[in-house]
Amino acid sequence: MTTLVFADSLNNKIKIGPRALSGMNGFVQNDSKKREAGGVLLGRFLIGINDVIVDHITVPMAGDKRSRFGFFRTKHAHQKRISEAWASSQGTCNYLGEWHTHPEDDPYPSAHDLTSWKNKLNLDRFDSDFLFFIIVGTVRVNAWEGHRNDGQFEKLSLVPIIQA
């Protein structure tokens, strides 16, 4: 599968583009020696509708902390990539949220994940009222939308892609 599309309860969509999905899939924890990985989601808001496209991601960088059951990303290296993407796109490539892996088939956020996500909603600077959080499991990819105004998270539904 080269893209994934998720929808919220209002049918607003987030499309994970092929480059971003390929990057995340490269870190699937399908072996007991593989450590969690993660980074940020970078992409575009589509004008006139409430959909977004994730075009790029960052991947683990020097200074990130990785273990079998944990990932902590350093701010500076990833922020540099966010700033570079913003500048080179003339302000159209935005920070959209975070992604990381879990060593489970159908991944769900841990208590630590939810606390981290709430902190991001409260402390990070971003140009919308929401951030997306993606967890890549060994079989499935799941996504959540976090809302800045109330700190709540909505699990997004995978939208079937019909091949012509």
Query: Could you give the residue numbers annotated as active site?
Result: 36
- Which of 65, 127, 56 has the alpha carbon at shortest distance from 91? 127
Write the CB contacts of 65 (distance below 8 Å, at least 6 apart in sequence). Answer: 71, 72
**With b meaning 16 or more CB within 10 Å and e meaning fewer, what string describes 39-73?**
bbbbbbeeeeeebbbbbbbbbbeeebebeeeebeb
3-state secondary structure of 155: strand
For residues 42 and 95, is the Cβ–Cβ distance under 8 A? yes
